[in-house]
């Protein structure tokens, strides 16, 4: 059964392999499962390019029809041809235009972006806690958004602009060559020069774009870090320090924007000058042919119209190529941050944790965060089911680290941790953590409803379960009085 185009995609479909760390292999990984829709959209764009170029040449053919007919006989002799031209303009052309734009704007763009976003986010949250400890949360989030937006724009622009333009150039060559093969050769030579110019400027734009994207992500990370820790900023009266950090981050961004802008100015200026050459060359040559009686006035107009379309399209295509290379630079920059191997994955044969007694054992455990000093050394500890144990020590003695190792937020450097004689390395991380309740010393809440925050640890909890938990925590009454800034109340209020 033929599915609706929107249902050709399965954004939630998992990709078993890790993302590659080279640009085009990474792009293939991101786009896997979308190729059928991309091919159909590409075909529609190519056909649309052919139709649009033929439309530009129609004027010349109409002029020749007029010139070979008298005013009295024009509609009688050429009426059907003129009617066919009108039908082409009002029926055929809009159909191709609609289908091409439908595929790009409704089918491809939303679905590809969703698929990439889900795929990248799923890989990112699979990283260990160390990955997130070593970077700004805002910077990581920026990279996720950056790669999905930029790669989607690359695909859409390649189809909408590059393939459309290549089809237009090929059709232009064919139409102009029908007038005179040497005029067609002008199109080929012009396109070769255009391609050479692109090959010079595009890598430079891609490189400066990558630098700009990285500076943007660092600036975003700095701002998010400040805002998410605004209580500390206020308590320590450290606004000046944060202001200085922001000035430094945005100073780097400003410099990268200036370098990028310099490349853009030169690129646009050179393209503007070069684009005019195709129109001047083709029109001049066909006029010379006309003066020698070798072509008709209509053929001069047709060739000139097509050449003018190429001239105008050159600017549009060059800006799109600039956007494509800019976005490729941003994809490559995000790839360096996101497409790194997971440093702590489930074992290939990992099993679900099975709890029978909930006995916990630390066996000669050592962990010092990769350092030579501090941390835990030769820790052996047995905790029987039902026992209550308090661990006391100075700040930095390793109390929180002990819990982190039990949760397998980190792997021990030596020694092992067991639950009911099951090594935590040999069970899935999700099943391990789902059996352990933690009351952290840090207060954390999602910017979601009170309901979402309460049932976060038990997604299948009923409304009665949630209310009972809130009552047991002494929170039910004040939650009912909550009103957020959007006037949502009680358990539906955002925290």
How far is the CA of 300 from the CAs of 60, 276, 290, 341, 481, in angstroms? 7, 17, 7, 61, 79
Rounded to the nearest integer, the mean pLDDT of the chain is 86
What's the pLDDT tens digit per position in 4-25?
Answer: 666 666 666 666 788 999 999 9
Is residue 173 pLDDT above 60, yes or no? yes
For residue 23, count CB atoms less than 10 angstroms from its CB and return exposed for 0-12, middle for 13-18, buried for 19 or more. Answer: middle
Stretch 33-62: mean pLDDT: 87
- The rounded distance, in Å, linking the Cα atoms of 379 and 366 is 7
Contacts (Cβ under 8 Å, ≥6 apart) of 440: none
DSSP-derived letter for residue 38 is H
CA atoms within 13 A on the CB side of 120: 29
Stretch 76-98: mean pLDDT: 86
Find tokens 């066919």 and name the residue. 84
Stretch 52-57: mean pLDDT: 84
- Provide the percentage of residues in the chain whose pLDDT is more than 70: 97
DSSP-derived letter for residue 174 is H
In the beta sheet, which residues pair with residue 416? Answer: 363
Using pLDDT thresholds of 50, 70 and 90, give the confidence band for residue 103. confident
- The rounded distance, in Å, linking the Cα atoms of 454 and 461 is 9
- The rounded distance, in Å, linking the Cα atoms of 257 and 208 is 8
The pLDDT assigned to 9 comes to: 67
CB under 8 Å, gap of 24 or more: what pairs does 25-31 form?
A: 26/331, 26/335, 26/339, 27/151, 27/154, 27/331, 29/119, 30/115, 30/116, 30/119, 30/120, 30/147, 30/151, 31/112, 31/115, 31/116, 31/151, 31/155
- Give the chain's count of helices (H) and strands (E): 17, 4
How far is the CA of 81 from the CAs of 84, 232, 256, in angstroms? 5, 78, 57
Stretch 362-371: mean pLDDT: 88
327 touches 185 (CB < 8 A): no
Is residue 458 pLDDT above 90, yes or no? no
Stretch 333-361: mean pLDDT: 88
Encode burial over 449-459: b for 16+ CB neighbours within 10 A, e otherwise. bbbbbbbeeee
The pLDDT assigned to 2 comes to: 47
The pLDDT assigned to 13 comes to: 67
- The rounded distance, in Å, linking the Cα atoms of 56 and 47 is 15
Stronger pLDDT, 15 or 263, i.e. the higher one: 263
What's the pLDDT tens digit per position in 187-236?
Answer: 999 999 988 998 898 888 888 888 888 888 888 888 888 887 887 788 77
Give DSSP secondary structure letters for 280-298.
HHHHHHHHHHHHTTSS-HH
DSSP-derived letter for residue 394 is -
Tokens standing for 209?
């774009």
Tell me the whole-structure pTM to 2 decimals.
0.75
- The rounded distance, in Å, linking the Cα atoms of 212 and 225 is 20
Using pLDDT thresholds of 50, 70 and 90, give the confidence band for residue 1. very low
Using pLDDT thresholds of 50, 70 and 90, give the confidence band for residue 147. very high
- The rounded distance, in Å, linking the Cα atoms of 397 and 265 is 58
The pLDDT assigned to 3 comes to: 52
Contacts (Cβ under 8 Å, ≥6 apart) of 224: 136, 137, 138, 139, 141
Tokens standing for 80?
């059907």
For residue 463, count CB atoms less than 10 angstroms from its CB and return exposed for 0-12, middle for 13-18, buried for 19 or more. Answer: exposed
Phi and psi of 449, rounded to 5°? -70, 160
State whether the Cα torsion 451-453-456-457 is positive or negative.
negative
How far is the CA of 55 from the CAs of 64, 87, 156, 185, in angstroms? 15, 12, 24, 21
CA atoms within 13 A on the CB side of 267: 29
53 touches 306 (CB < 8 A): yes
The pLDDT assigned to 284 comes to: 92
For residue 86, count CB atoms less than 10 angstroms from its CB and return exposed for 0-12, middle for 13-18, buried for 19 or more. Answer: exposed
Is residue 442 pLDDT above 90, yes or no? no
Stretch 279-298: mean pLDDT: 90
- The rounded distance, in Å, linking the Cα atoms of 41 and 100 is 6
The pLDDT assigned to 192 comes to: 92
State whether the Cα torsion 327-329-330-332 is positive or negative.
positive
Using pLDDT thresholds of 50, 70 and 90, give the confidence band for residue 258. very high
């Amino acid at each position: 059964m033929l599915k609706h185009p929107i249902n050709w995609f399965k954004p939630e479909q998992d990709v078993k392999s890790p993302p590659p760390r080279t640009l085009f292999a990474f792009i293939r990984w991101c786009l896997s499962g979308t190729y059928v829709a991309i091919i159909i959209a590409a075909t529609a764009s190519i056909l649309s390019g052919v139709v649009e170029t033929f439309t530009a040449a129609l004027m010349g053919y109409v002029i020749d029809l007029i010139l070979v007919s008298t005013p009295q006989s024009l509609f009688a002799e050429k009426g059907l041809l003129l009617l066919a031209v009108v039908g082409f303009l009002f029926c055929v052309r809009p159909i191709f235009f609609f289908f091409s734009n439908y595929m790009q704007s409704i089918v491809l763009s939303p679905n590809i972006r969703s698929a990439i976003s889900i795929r990248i986010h799923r890989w990112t949250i699979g990283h260990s806690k160390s990955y997130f400890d070593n970077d700004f949360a805002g910077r990581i989030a920026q990279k996720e958004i950056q790669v999905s937006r930029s790669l989607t724009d690359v695909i859409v622009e390649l189809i909408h602009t590059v393939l459309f333009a290549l089809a237009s150039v090929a059709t232009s060559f064919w139409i102009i060559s029908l007038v005179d093969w040497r005029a067609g050769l002008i199109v080929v030579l012009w396109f070769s020069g255009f391609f050479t110019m692109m090959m010079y400027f595009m890598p430079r734009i891609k490189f400066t774009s990558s630098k700009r994207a990285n500076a943007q992500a660092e600036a975003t990370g700095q701002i998010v870090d400040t805002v998410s820790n605004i209580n500390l900023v206020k308590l320590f009266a450290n606004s000046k320090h944060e202001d200085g950090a922001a000035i430094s981050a945005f100073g780097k961004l400003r410099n990268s924007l200036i370098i990028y802008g310099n490349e853009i100015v030169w690129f646009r200026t050179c393209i503007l000058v070069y684009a005019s050459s195709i129109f001047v060359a083709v029109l001049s040559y066909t006029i010379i042919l006309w003066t020698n009686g070798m072509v008709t006035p209509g053929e001069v107009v047709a060739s000139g119209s097509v050449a003018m379309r190429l001239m105008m399209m050159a600017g549009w295509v060059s800006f799109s190529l600039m956007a494509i290379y800019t976005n490729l630079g941003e994809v490559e920059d995000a790839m360096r941050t996101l497409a790194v191997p997971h440093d702590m994955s489930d074992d290939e044969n990992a099993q679900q944790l099975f709890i029978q007694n909930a006995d916990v054992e630390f066996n000669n455990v050592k962990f010092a965060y990769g350092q030579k000093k501090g941390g835990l050394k030769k820790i052996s500890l047995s905790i029987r089911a039902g026992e209550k144990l308090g661990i006391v020590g100075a700040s930095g003695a390793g109390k929180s680290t002990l819990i982190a190792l039990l949760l397998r937020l980190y792997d021990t450097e030596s020694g092992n941790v067991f639950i009911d004689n099951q090594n935590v390395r040999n069970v899935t991380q999700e099943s391990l953590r789902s059996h352990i309740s933690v009351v952290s010393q840090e207060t954390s809440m999602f910017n979601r409803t009170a309901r979402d925050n309460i049932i976060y640890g038990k997604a299948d909890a009923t409304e009665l379960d949630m209310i009972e938990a809130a009552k047991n925590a002494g929170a039910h009454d004040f939650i009912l009085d909550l009103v957020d800034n959007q006037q949502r109340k009680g358990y539906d209020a955002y925290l």
